[in-house]
Structure 1
Amino acid sequence: MTASPTIARWTSAAFVAAGLLFLLFPLLRPWPDETVASAELAAAFASDRWVVAHLAGILALALLAPALLGLRAILGGADAARHGLGAVTWALITAWAGAGAAALYFGAEIFGIRTIAEAALRDDDLGLLADVEVLRMQPWAVALFAAGLFLLAVSGVLIAVALWRSGTRARWAGFPLALGLLLLLPQFFGGPELRITHGFLVAAGCLLVAAVTRTSSVVDPPR
């Protein structure tokens, strides 16, 4: 069964855009040494690159929900029970909730940390940078961020399940994206190289799903 070409086109575009934005976040983000309070660190936190990179991350998260809404419409053209509609519906719900919770933390990173860094540069007081860790580790902020990333990981697994059940020719197409979303939380504990590699993984996963949804062909799965 085939979905509307318009739905397929926009769904594919949303996945492509999300993937590229996921990659732009670590590529654009400055990577100063954060173990020592320095003028270089303050300048990096106060830079436009810091803002643009985090905005890319927020937009990447925001685009997952509409992309999954389109995927749900595509799979809805087939028998819901047999073609993964239930799984993609829950993927949509968890992605929406997870992105919303995680975006709050990204907002604090953009504006809160930048404000601290600007104050440190303005007052020539690098001791103010100690407040960056206080902001990042605020209990409610950490809890919301962790919950958001957990929900996004669940969404990734459900995307893989939905596409596996869908009967598409590339039933495995959701696995790379699922792996990328599962690793969203652990990769934050890695260095720049690991973070950038993870960005490529999520981008590749989104592009693969985009390629599958662009054709929007659903066939009966093997019995």
Structure 2
Amino acid sequence: MTRATPAPAARPAAPAPTRSTTAWTVAGASAAGVLLLLFPALRPWPDESVPALALAQAFASDRWVLAHLCGIAGLGLLAPTFLGLRAVLRGRAARTGAATAAVVTAWAGAGLCALYFGAEIFGIRTIAQAALRTGDPTLLAEVDVLREQPAAMTVFGLGLALVAAAGVLAVVATWRGGLRPPWVGIPLAAGLVLYLPQFFGAPAVRVGHGVLVALGLGLLAWAVSRPTSTDTTTAGHPAG
């Protein structure tokens, strides 16, 4: 008599995302969007083509420091936001490999960018304050020396490349994870991929880019907060 082969044990269902997980993911995305919009919106935009005391005043201003701190904080919130996205997708039994990679690359990229931004914020401000004290705007020539150090530019470029990679990985995660609409991660990915080239644009381009990134993060927050088909099932059957 043939023995019946026991059926394989059912794989335990992934825990549903909690309200707190969803809430802090939404909060992180929203805060990051606001901060990354404030970065170009608050930053003073003087004419940098000619060394002048007006330029020194802009570089020495509190707005210069505050705007860049907003940028650092906004980039720093990308990784926690993607970590929350990973938790939400895991709770919906979706694949999380791309979201995990987005967390790692966003954290590394933000860290490298922060190194450059920190030197730029306070280094340029110190140079500008010296120019104001002495009344000598020619000291501002050192600003380009500070910005264009090969090691510093390499660190910054690598950081922005990692941020761009995080954006691409995030859109892969949202697409595979079943967030609706499927394209919801594309605006954010576009904004993060464009971070490096937008630095060569005019002030209006820079501010417009900030709007794009804020829009992308806002869309992500909205999509995460919406229930999916897996959240609206009862006893294994779709809700009517």
Which TM-score band applies after superposition, normalised by the shorter structure? over 0.9
Count of equivalent residues: 217
- Given residue 169 of structure 2, which amino acid in structure 1 is its aligned partner? L
Cross-structure match for 2:8? none
Instruction: Report how far residue 179 of structure 1 moved.
Output: 0.2
Q: Quick check: 1:106 aligned with 2:120?
A: no
Aligned mates of 1:218, 1:110 — CA distance in 2: 47
Cross-structure match for 1:35? 49
Aligned-residue CA RMSD (Å): 1.3
Aligned mates of 1:96, 1:67 — CA distance in 2: 11
Q: Which has the larger radius of gyration?
A: 2
- The answer to whether the 8 A contact 1:160-1:175 is kept is yes
Residue among 20, 34, 56 paired with 2:70: 56
Q: Quick check: 1:117 aligned with 2:131?
A: no
Normalising by structure 1, we get a TM-score of 0.94
Deviations 1:34-72 (A, max 9, x none): 000001100000000000000000000111111111111
Deviations 1:104-162 (A, max 9, x none): 11111210000000001001111110000000001111000000000000000000000
Aligned mates of 2:129, 2:39 — CA distance in 1: 21
Aligned mates of 1:179, 1:101 — CA distance in 2: 20
Aligned mates of 2:23, 2:227 — CA distance in 1: 9
Cross-structure match for 1:190? 201
Residue among 157, 170, 174 paired with 2:185: 174
List structure 1 runs of 4+ shifted beyond 3 angstroms.
216-220
Residue among 85, 92, 95 paired with 2:106: 95
Structure 2 residue ranges without an equivalent (≥5): 1-14, 232-240
How high is the sequence identity, in percent, across the aligned residues? 58
Residue among 137, 149, 165 paired with 1:138: 149
- The answer to whether the 8 A contact 1:3-1:216 is kept is no
Distance 1:218 1:119, change over 3 A: farther
Distance 1:216 1:15, change over 3 A: farther
Instruction: Report how far residue 215 of structure 1 moved.
Output: 2.8
Aligned mates of 1:33, 1:46 — CA distance in 2: 14
Q: Which has the higher helix share?
A: 1
The alignment partner of 2:141 has SS state of helix
Deviations 1:55-109 (A, max 9, x none): 0000001111111111111111133xxx230000000000000000011111112
Q: Quick check: 1:23 aligned with 2:37?
A: yes
Q: Quick check: 1:44 aligned with 2:58?
A: yes
Distance 1:138 1:90, change over 3 A: same
- Given residue 200 of structure 2, which amino acid in structure 1 is its aligned partner? F
Cross-structure match for 2:218? 207
Aligned mates of 2:152, 2:127 — CA distance in 1: 17
Structure 1 residue ranges without an equivalent (≥5): none
Deviations 1:18-45 (A, max 9, x none): 0010100000000000000001100000
- The answer to whether the 8 A contact 1:22-1:60 is kept is yes
Cross-structure match for 2:82? 68
